[in-house]
Amino acid sequence: MAQVAVIIPAAGRSTRFGGLEKKPFAPLDGRPVWQRSAELFWSRPDVTKVYLVVSPDDRDEFRQRFGHLLAFNNAQLVSGGAERFESVANALAVVPEEVELVAVHDAVRPLTPPALVDAVFAAAATHGAALLAVPLADTLKRVETGSTQVLETVPRGGLWQAQTPQVFCRDWLVDAYTRRTTLPGPITDDAQLVEAAGHPVHVVTGTALNFKITTQDDLALAETILRARNAKPVERPSRAFDDDAKW
């Protein structure tokens, strides 16, 4: 079984989210979103440590509110950078060399099914790099910048929407981050960075339920799904007149 370190970036500014707290710290059915995401990995025997990356401005408050959770679950707090790639780089720098795989997972993607975590970890162990993704189902339109006019309809054949976890051979990810400033861009996720460094990346079919919480509507939807998952099934008699003997 390959040993995996998990990096969870939670240092973003959450400008599109609104609300009183940043997205990762917003409550989701009684627990903060980041905790729901981290819990996907805490009890896995193949995960050596979870590295949670937060803004330096949030670090003291985070440690005060959640430090006990990190200590109990062998998780480590890391200070983030000005952008997401810097945050991941800061965490990657403290991952031990003996770790075989590194997974990067969005702090605001809390509904990933455990079976898909199993699948993407296994694919990365086999191929060196893998991510969850779903084939695009909607028609895509390219619109003129600063306008509402459609320039073209983009063929969606072969296009997939990337999700996380994205999992990589540690050496490949370190190589890609070492060369990050010299690789052609713009680069928007870790899988693209590893691709640009010349390493093959494979997809594992994900699910639409593994969405990223970006808005308040997303948070409400995630809460509805989580409560439905946790609801106890209603017990019903197996036959309409099972209670006849009582009468």
CA nearest 24: which of 48, 51, 53, 44? 53
pLDDT of the residue at 247: 45
pLDDT of the residue at 231: 78
pLDDT of the residue at 222: 96
- Helix or strand run (H / E) with residue 188: none
pLDDT of the residue at 140: 94
CA 225 remoteness from chain centre: 17
- How far apart are alpha carbons 175 and 106 in whole angstroms? 21
pLDDT of the residue at 42: 95
Could you confirm whether domain 4-229 is CATH 3.50.30.40? Answer: no
Residue 52 pairs in a beta bridge with: 8, 77
**Any idea where the domains of the chain sit in the sequence?**
4-229
Task: Report in angstroms the alpha-carbon separations of 152 from 130, 136, 147, 149, 209.
Answer: 31, 17, 13, 9, 29
Q: What is the pLDDT of residues 124-182, one digit of tens each?
A: 999 999 999 999 999 999 999 999 999 999 999 999 999 999 999 999 999 999 999 99
CA nearest 10: which of 68, 59, 65? 59
- The pLDDT averaged over each successive group of 10 residues in the chain (247 residues) is 95 62 88 96 97 94 93 94 95 98 98 98 99 96 95 94 98 97 91 98 98 94 92 62 51
